[in-house]
Amino acid sequence: MPFECIVTETRGHVGLIRLDRPKALNALSDALLTELGEALDAFEADAAIGCIVLTGSDKAFAAGADIKEMAKLDFLTAYMGDFAQRIDRVARCRKPLVAAVSGYALGGGCELAMSCDFILAADSARFGQPEITLGIMPGMGGTQRLARLVGRSKAMDMVLTGRMMDAAEAERAGLVSRIFPADSLLEETLKIAEKIADLSLPIAMMAKETVNRAEEVSLAEGLRFERRLFHAMFATEDQKEGMAAFIEKRAPHFSGR
């Protein structure tokens, strides 16, 4: 696909999206977010893709929304255009979506990473919500997702001071699930994504949907939702195959049915 701000490729059953505006440290311009949505549409429509990886460069996953574009906004343009809701396309992705973060993930960049299912970070990664230093606050979910991931105290600290967290602090705080040396981050992420892609896609999608429910509903509702989908899984061929393979001591071959 001919994109200007991103590069996409397929590695086996993994769809890889690399943000590619090096001169602006992958700042999330309107055009970049449009292309990102199109790339997600294409990988979601491709039955051969079982997991998607979103990454940036060694220096920056993304240094935020594009400040040069935002500087020109007035209230009505911001309100009517609703640029901030573009991130919803990422959170709405139904296939497993992993963020591989090296370097800066600031402002909208941190919010973009948090909209993925989990974050794998290079030891060089720096996370922050520096919007307050620009006279604004996070607008793509940063006040909500960061508070849910790292708790109110650290989220307040990040949002009110604009300071950065390094990878070790981000892992301790629960923002990041695993850290790898910068030079092996992509390779390790692709291995993890390939493992996910080898599993049953519908079951992985249902598991993702169910974990996401935890943030939206009460425990009792969440458990009911889990149970309904858990029972439904016994109507799939993949459940039969997964359990038969275990009993027959062989590797399972999931068909996605």
Q: Residue 202: count other Cβ atoms within 10 Å of its Cβ.
A: 17
74, 188 in Cβ contact below 8 A?
A: no
Strands (DSSP E) along the chain, which ranges?
Answer: 6-11, 14-19, 51-55, 60-62, 97-101, 104-106, 118-122, 126-128, 164-166, 178-180
Q: Which stretch binds ligand HXC (CB under 6 A): 36-44, 137-145, 168-176, 232-240?
A: 137-145
And the tokens for 243?
Answer: 């359990």
Cβ atoms within 10 Å, residue 163 = 14
Cβ atoms of 185 and 100 closer than 8 Å: yes
- Taking residues 74 to 113 in sequence order and writing x for each that binds ligand HXC by CB under 6 A, - otherwise, the string is ---------xx-------------------x-xxx-----
Catalytic residue, candidates 24, 62, 121, 131? 131
Question: At closest approach, how far in Å is the CB of 8 from ligand HXC?
Answer: 22
The pairing of strands 164-166 and 14-19 is unpaired
108 is annotated as an active-site residue: yes
* Residues 33-72, interacting with ligand HXC (CB under 6 A): 63-68
CB of 104 to ligand HXC, least distance (A): 4
Residues 6+ apart with CB under 8 A from 208: 94, 96, 117
CB of 130 to ligand HXC, least distance (A): 4
Say how far apart CA 29 and CA 70 lie, in whole Å: 9
Run of H or E residues at 144: helix 142-150
Q: According to CB under 6 A, which one of 50, 56, 96, 130 is a site residue for ligand HXC?
A: 130
Total residues in contact with ligand HXC, by rule CB under 6 A: 21
For the window 200-219, what string marks contact with ligand HXC as x by the rule CB under 6 A? --------------------
Q: Is 132 in the site for ligand HXC (CB under 6 A)?
A: no
Nearest distance from C-beta of residue 152 to ligand HXC, angstroms: 20
Strand partners, 18: 7, 55
Catalytic residue among 15, 35, 111, 197: 111
Active site residue 111: yes
Pairing label, strands 60-62, 6-11: unpaired
Q: Whose Cβ is closer to ligand HXC: residue 19's or residue 65's?
A: 65
CB of 63 to ligand HXC, least distance (A): 3
| By CB under 6 A, residue 141 contacts ligand HXC | no
Residue closest to ligand HXC when measured from CB atoms: 107
180 binds ligand HXC (CB under 6 A): no
For 138, the token pair is: 């996070």
Judged by beta carbon, residue 64 or residue 96, the one nearer ligand HXC is: 64
d(C-alpha 245, C-alpha 65), whole Å: 47
With CA atoms as reference, report the closest residue to 257 among 203, 195, 196, 198: 203
Which residues carry out catalysis? 65, 108, 111, 131
Q: Which residues of this chain interact with ligand HXC, rule CB under 6 A?
A: 24-25, 27, 63-68, 83-84, 104, 106-108, 130-131, 134, 138-140
